[in-house]
Chains A and B, each alone.
Chain A
Amino acid sequence: MTAPIPFTVIGGFLGAGKTTLLNRLLAGAEGRRLAVLVNDFGALDIDGELVAKHGGDTIALSNGCLCCTIGDSLVATLLALLERSDEFDHIVVEASGVADPGRIADLATLEARLHRDGVIVVVDADDVQRRAADRRVGDTVLRQLKAADLLVLNKIDLADDPSVVRTWLDGQSMAPVLEARHADVTLALVFGLDQHGVSQSDGNPKPFRSWSYSWPDPVDRSALLAMLDEVPSHVLRAKGIVRFADSADRRSIVHMVGRRVDISEDGSWPGDVESRLVLVGTGAMLHSFERE
C-alpha cells in the first residue's frame, strides 16, 4: 500500500483570508502536486496561462496542482477525488466560513488513504473579536479557533493593537500563532512541505529554522512525548522516524502539527540506523533543547 496522503484543512470565518492563503499555496507549490478543494473557483487567483485543463468542477494546473469545487457535498467530492489519488501528493480543503474544520479533518482519521495533517485556521486580526462576540456566529468562530492546530493571525497590520488580539487569542486556543499580512506565512511551516522541495525560495521573506535530533539507542516514548509537550511556542511542526523502546522492532512515525502529536507505526525497524526527529519553527531554539 502506498503512503497515506497528507490532508490539511484551512478553516476560518468569512473574510479572514483563507483564499489568499490558498492562492499563495498554489503559487508556491513547486513540484508538490496539491489537490485543493475550494468552495468557489471565482475567488482563486489562477493565472489563465497556468490552466492546463478546465473540466467544469475541476481545474488542472500546469504546475501539477488540481483545484476542485466542493459543490454540495464535501464527502462525495473527497471520495471521488480519492479514486484518482495517483494524481496528487497532498490534499488541502478550504472549509466553508461557518464549518468546524476539525470535523472535516476527522475524515482523514476515518480514511486509511489519508493522513491527517494540520487544521490551519486563518483569523482576521482586526475583526475576530467582534465576530466572536456576535450572538449568531460567535460560537461558530470560537469552535473554529479551538479546532486549530495552527492559527494564522492574518491582517495583523490592520489591528489597532496586535498585542490585545494576541492575548485574547491565547485564551481561546492552545494552537501556536503565526502572524501574517495578506496571509504571507511560510508555506513549509504551515503545510509541512519542507521535505518536498519547497524551501525559503517560495518567495516568503520570513525565515524558518529546523533542529535535528538523533538517538542511536531506542527512545523512551514518554520522554519524547514530554519533550514535544515542552517545545517553545515557535516550534510549529515535528517529524520523526523513531525506534521506541516499548516497540523496538517497529518503525514509528512521529508527526506534530502545532501541539497535536500523532504517532503511527508503518513497518519493522530497518536495522542499524538511528532514530531521527526534526523540529521546525521560527525564531531561536531554547538552550535546554539544543543540549538534548
Chain B
Amino acid sequence: MSTVVYSARRIITMNPNLPFATHVAVRDGRILGAGPIESLKGWGKVEVDDRFADKVILPGFVEGHSHAYEGGVWKFPYVGYFDRTSPDGALARGLKSIDEVVAALQAYETKMPRDGSTLLAWGFDPIYFGGRRMNLADLDKVSAARPVVVLHSNFHVLNANTPVFAKAGITRHTNVHGVVKDEHGEPTGELQENTAKFMAYKAAGVELAAILSDDAATWGFAKVAQLAGVTTATDLHNTLPDSTVAAYLAASASVDFPLRLLPAFAAFSMPPDEGIARLKELAKKNNERLRFQLVKIITDGSIQGLSARMRWPGYYDGTPNGVWNVGPDEIDRLLLAYHRAGLQVHIHTNGDEASEVAIEAVERALAAAPRWDHRHTLQHAQMADAGQFRRLKALGMCANLFANHLFYWGDVHYAKTLGPERAERMDACGTALKLGVPLAIHCDAPVTPIGPLFTAWCAVNRLTASGRTLGEAEKISVADALHAITLGAAYTLKLDEELGSIDVGKRADFAILDDDPLAVPPEKLNDVGVWGTVLGGRVFEAPRV
C-alpha cells in the first residue's frame, strides 16, 4: 500500500474547502488528500514525486458529449481547415484552400494500393473558403479512376468525384433530395443528408460502423482524449452491438487504457423494454474504465444542417423548419420508459422547439412517475432561452451546451441560420449558471476536436472563427468554465461523487497542465499546454511529436 504525494506548482481542486494546494496524495488509485506536504505526512510513509513540480494539476477533464468514433476516423486522412491532433500526438495541419485539400489527397492517393479501393477523407469544411465550394473536377484531380469521398466536418454532407457519381448513376436527371446541383442543373459533386450517408456507406463498405468502433478505434479515442487532459469521456450515442461491446470491454480491461469511457445507449435502436434489459445486462460488465449507465435520445437534426426543429420564427434565412429524427410522441414514450427504469437520459436537442418538446416530455414523465435526482440532460440545447433554462432548473434537469459551436459555426449562425439576436445568445452558458442549471460544455468530437480547454475558451471568450464576439452577456468566467469541464460535467453523468474534483476519497484522475489556466489571460486559455493525465493514480504522459 504505497502512497505517492505529487508536488505541483499549483493544484486547482474544485473543492471549495481547499480550492488550491501544492501537494496531492494518492493511494490505491484514489485521492488520499490535498494540501501542504505537512498535512499529508500524517497518513504515514509517503513517497514524494516531484515530476509535476512545475506543472499545474486539475481534476481530470470530463467530456460529457463526444463520440468514440473520433478514434476511428483517424484511419482516414483528415482534411479540415483547422490544425488537429491525431491519437498518436501528431499534428494534422489545417488545409487553407480547396487546392491544398486536393494536393493533400493527391499525395495520399499515390500511396494507396492500385486496387481501385475508395479514398475516404473527413473533416472538410467549405465555409471558410469565401463561398467557393468543392466540385467534381476538384476531386477528379485526385483520381479519375478511384472513388474519392470527402466527408464534411459535420458528417452529414460529402463531396465525391466522378467515378462515385457515375457508378451511382447520378446525373442532371437524378431528381433526389440531397444531390446539390449548380445553376445549370448539373450535379456539383456535393451530397447531403441521407443521400450523403448512403453514398458514404456504399463507398466505404457496409463495415464503416464496425471500423469506427473496433479495438484500435477505441484505443485511438482514449489516446486523443488523453492528449487533451481528458480522463472521462462519453461515447454519447451507440447502439452497442456485440462487436462494439467486445471492443470496449477488451480495451478497458487493460490498465494502460487511459480513459474512463461512458457509452450512451441509443434508445431508438430497439423497443425500450429490450433496451432497458440490454443496458442492465451490460451494466453488470462495468469496470473501472468502462461504465454502461447512460441512455441517449436524438430528437432533431442540426442548426447548420438546416434540420434543427425551431420554434417560431424559425430559420433567419427563411429555410423551412427542420426534421424530427424521433417525433414528439416517441420522445414521450422512450423517455417515460427509461425514466421509469431509473435510468438517466441524455436528450439531443439543437433547435428550441426540440428543447421544448424534451422539457415537456420530462415534465410528463415526472408527473407519471415522480423521481428525485434523475438529472435528465439536454445535450446541445443551443437555442435554449432563459425561459427554457428556468424550466430545466425547476425540473431538476441539466444542460450540456455546445460551446465549440460558437467558434466553428458562430459566423454562419449570425449571418444565415439564427440571425444576430439569437446567435448572440446561443449556447447560453451565462444564463444557465445565473439560473442555477447544472452546466457542462462539450465538443461533440469528432464533429469538433476533443479539447476541454478549448471548449472552456469558447465559453469564456465566445469568439467566432472570424473574430466576432458572440454575446458578451453569455460569457462565463474561467473558473466557471473550468468547473464546467470537470465537476460540472461529472454531475451531468452522475459521477460527481466519484470524480470531477480533487477531494478525499475520489479517484486520482488528474489533468497535468504546463500552465495555470487561472493565471493566463482568458483569451489565452486554449494555449495552455497539456502534459498528460493521471488516471486512477497511473501516469499517462502525452506523446510529444
Contact = CB atoms under 8 A, between A and B. Distances in A.
A164 B268 CA distance: 36
A104 B177 CA distance: 10
Given A75-B201, A79-B206, A106-B178, 13 more contacts: A40-B270, A69-B270, A72-B266, A72-B269, A97-B329, A103-B177, A103-B193, A103-B194, A106-B194, A106-B195, A109-B174, A110-B176, A111-B198
B209 interface: yes
Interface string B318-352: 00110111111110000000000000000000000
B209 A42 contact: no
Nearest to B196: A75
B328 A136 contact: yes
A15 to B, nearest CB: 8
Interface of A: 14, 40, 42, 69, 71-73, 75-76, 79-80, 83, 96-98, 100, 102-104, 106-107, 109-112, 136-137, 139-140
A97 B331 CA distance: 12
Nearest to B322: A139
17 contacts: A72-B269, A73-B197, A73-B209, A75-B197, A75-B201, A79-B198, A79-B201, A79-B206, A80-B206, A97-B329, A103-B193, A103-B194, A104-B194, A106-B176, A109-B174, A110-B169, A139-B321
Looking at B177, B208, B325, which has the most chain A CB atoms within 10 Å of its CB?
A: B177
A269 B202 CA distance: 33
Interface string B337-380: 00000000000000001000100000000000000000000000
Contacts of B357: 136
Contacts of B269: 71-72
Contacts of A69: 270
B217 to A, nearest CB: 16
Interface string B159-194: 000000001111000111110000000000000011
Interface in B24-58: none
B176 A109 contact: yes
Contacts of B193: 103
A99 to B, nearest CB: 8
A60 B79 CA distance: 44
A14 B330 contact: yes
B324 A137 contact: yes
- Shortest 8 CB-CB distances between A and B: which pairs? A98-B327, A98-B324, A106-B176, A72-B269, A72-B239, A79-B206, A75-B198, A71-B269
B169 A112 contact: yes
Interface residues of B, number: 39
Contacts of A109: 174-176
Nearest to A100: B323
A68 B122 CA distance: 31
Interface of B: 167-170, 174-178, 193-195, 197-199, 201-202, 206, 208-209, 239, 266, 268-271, 309, 320-321, 323-330, 353, 357
Contacts of B198: 75, 79, 107, 110-111
A279 to B, nearest CB: 24
A104 B197 CA distance: 12
Contacts of A72: 239, 266, 268-269
A247 to B, nearest CB: 15
Nearest to B242: A56
Contacts of B178: 103, 106
A261 to B, nearest CB: 12
A110 B270 CA distance: 27
Contact of B201 (A76, A106, A136): A76
Contacts of B167: 112
Contacts of B170: 110
Contacts of A104: 194
